[in-house]
Structure formats: C-alpha cells, structure tokens
Amino acid sequence: MSAYPAQLLDHFGQAVTSICHCWRLERRDGAIFGFTDHDCKLQVDGMVFEPQTGLSASEARQSLGLSVDTVDVEGALSSDHIRDEDIAAGLYDGATVETFLVNWRKPEHFARIRKATIGKITRSDGRFVAELESLLHQLDKPNGRYVTRKCDAELGDGRCGVNLEQPAFNGAGLVEAVEGPDVMRVSGLGGIEAGWFSFGVLTWISGARAGQAVRVIDHRIEGASSILTLETATGPDVGAGDGFSIVAGCDHSFATCKAKFANGLNFRGFPHLPGNDVAYAYVADGGVFDGGPVVP
C-alpha cells in the first residue's frame, strides 16, 4: 500500500468513500485520450477524463513473481474517440493504458495503480471489451534471433538497407472490380511482372479505407489487368475506383534478395544452414561433398 498517497489512504479508512477509476490511453500513433467510470468530467494530473464512454473494469489482481496479470475494461462504443472502425483498423492494438484510482470529490488525490498494454479486443452489440495485459507479458515474447534460412529483416528497414523509394519498387493504381473476399482486379500496374508486389504493402489513398495499409499475399497478371490478393482485414468495403499505392515485396529468400534487390550482402538469414535432413543423412553415391555452399 506504500504506493498510495497519505490523503488517499486516509480516505480509504472512512465509512463512505468517493473513489472512481480513470484511464489514460495512448495509442501507438501518439493520440492520447482520457476516460473515467465516474459520471462527471474529471481533471486529474493535468488531463481531462471523459465520462461518456461508460467504461467499467473487471476485478483486478496483482500477483507476486513474474506472473502476467490481466484486467478487462468494458465500454460502449459511444465516445467520439472510441469508434468501431478504429478498433477494426487496429489503431488500439498495443496501446498503453495507465489506470488511476481517484477521489472524485478531490481529484488532486489520486494514485497511479497500473500500467498495461491493450491485448485482445472483442466487439459486439455496440460494446467492446479490452484486455489489459501487465508489462510482464513482454517477457513471454521471443527475444533474440532465430537461426533460419530465410531473412528476418523487414524489407526496407535499417537492417535490410534496401531503398524502397526507387521507382522500380513502387506503383499506384485503381480498383477496377472486387472479385471476391480480399481479391480485386486493378489497373495502373501494367508492364510489371507477376509476383513483383507479392508480400509487399498496399496503402489505400482514397475510398472508405483511405490511410490503411495491408499486406499483399499474391500479385498475378490476367490480360491487361493485375489481380491482387490481400490479407484479410476488417473495415469498410473496398469499391471500384478506390486508389492505392503499393510497394514491392520480398519472400525473404536469399535468391530473391540477390536477384530482385541486389542486396545479398545485407541478407539477414542463414541460407547455407544445412538443416536437420542433411545433418542426419549418410553418405551415398551421387552426393556432392565438395565443401561448396548449400545455396549458390
């Protein structure tokens, strides 16, 4: 209990208390919002906390050791700041949430009791439930590198080093027709070989999903048009005439790194790793054991 200020501890000892929760939410894009389960607007620690969301918290617990604690926050999709389409677009994934315990009669008496990140969010019937994971959940994530044949860098990042601003790696176009879930016929990519934008990133520049980015699963050619298959994404429907920009993709293989991007020296995988099959194999006629590379 040493984390609570003396004024709040004295208030806890009274027969009647005036305690509420406040949440300071900071999204990964830098947007910051304040919410409270009290029925009036509160100003705490220099920030205004809005009551219109109807947020409420489940029972919380704090365990000793390295156990990962969680608490659910539930609310209605009624705030101007929390919209169903923003949750569907992933804007709240990984957001940081600070929880305050506040004496609403004297908001200057408060305690910051928890800092967590938003994990799973479920939505139904105009309401949402967000699972707040304690910072210890970071210890459950893999750290370090995996020794694999494929590259573990993201195309264009500092470890990769490829300059994606080059015209050869960029394109733009319009949707001609939606041919199925996440499959669309597009124009504007003529003269570009099939597969060039597979595993790349498409960003919508107009239409209902403007500003959203999605991974391209497959890029193929049919006649004068290109067919793009995208990762499944939630949000408004894509329609004919929606515009997009697109960046070339990489399948993270050594061959693609050399042939497509001339970037073999920066390859961040281990293409010459023999693998278990080779390690457990035995010498047989016709095998090549000249010490040469597994992958030329």
> Which tokens in the block code for residue 161?
């080093």
Same-domain pairing of 179 and 54? no
What pLDDT, on a 0 to 100 scale, did the predictor assign at position 62? 47
114/205 same-domain check? no
Q: Look up the CATH number of the domain holding residue 125.
A: 2.30.110
Residues 36 and 85 in one domain: yes
- Write down which residue in 213, 228, 247 finishes a domain: 247
Q: Count of CB atoms within 10 A of residue 60's CB?
A: 17
Tokens representing residue 111 in the block: 């305690």
For residues 33 and 106, state if they share a domain: yes
Q: How far is 256 from 250, CA to CA, in rounded Å?
A: 7
Tell me, yes or no, whether 281 lies in a domain. Answer: no
**Residue 243 belongs to a domain with what CATH number?**
2.40.30
Residues 117 and 42 in one domain: yes
Q: What is the distance between the alpha carbons of residues 5 and 222, in angstroms, rounded to a whole number?
A: 68
Task: Tell me if 205 sits within 8 A of 190, measured CB to CB.
Answer: no
Q: DSSP character for 134?
A: E
Q: What local confidence, expressed as pLDDT, does residue 53 receive?
A: 58
Same domain, 133 and 38: yes
pLDDT score of 88 = 73
- And the tokens for 26? 């900071």
Q: CB of 163 within 8 A of CB of 155?
A: no
Does any domain span residue 197? yes
Are the C-beta atoms of residues 187 and 243 closer than 8 Å to each other? Answer: no
* Rounded CA separation 234/108 (Å): 41
Length reported for the chain: 296
- Domain range for residue 227? 167-247
> What pLDDT is attached to residue 153?
93
Q: What's the distance, CA 286 to chain centroid?
A: 49
In this structure, how many other beta carbons lie within 10 angstroms of the beta carbon of residue 251?
14
> What pLDDT score does 77 carry?
47
Asked whether residue 83 falls in the same domain as residue 118, the answer is yes
Among candidates 116, 121, 123, 124, which has minimal Cα distance to 60? 116
**Same-domain check for residues 200 and 129:** no
pTM for this predicted structure: 0.60
Contact 138/66 with Cβ under 8 angstroms?
no
> Which long-range contacts does 191-195 make (Cβ < 8 Å, 24+ apart)?
192/226, 193/221, 194/219, 194/220, 194/221, 195/219, 195/220
Give, for all 296 residues of the chain, the pLDDT tens digit: 347 888 899 999 999 999 998 888 888 888 898 888 888 899 998 999 988 654 555 544 444 444 445 566 655 545 566 777 777 777 788 888 888 999 999 999 999 888 888 877 777 666 777 777 776 666 666 777 888 889 999 999 999 999 999 999 999 999 999 998 889 999 999 889 999 999 999 999 999 888 889 999 999 999 888 999 999 877 788 999 999 999 999 999 999 999 999 999 999 999 887 777 776 777 777 777 777 776 76
136: which residues sit within 8 A by CB, 6+ positions away? 66, 67, 68, 69
Looking at the structure, tell me whether residues 180 and 124 fall in a common domain: no
> Where among 205, 229, 247 does a domain terminate?
247
In this prediction, residue 90 carries a pLDDT of 76
Q: Single out the residue of 245, 250, 207, 214 nearest to residue 229, CA to CA.
A: 214
Do 23 and 112 have their domain in common?
yes
- pLDDT, position 216: 96
Q: Tell me if 153 is assigned to some domain.
A: no
Q: How far apart are CA 101 and CA 44, in angstroms?
A: 10
Q: How far apart, in Å, are the Cα atoms of 46 and each of 7, 20, 23, 172?
A: 19, 17, 13, 45
Backbone CA torsion sign across 256, 280, 286, 290 = positive
Domain boundary among 105, 140, 175: 140
The total number of structural domains in the chain stands at 2
pLDDT for position 259: 93
Whether 269 maps to a domain, the answer reads no
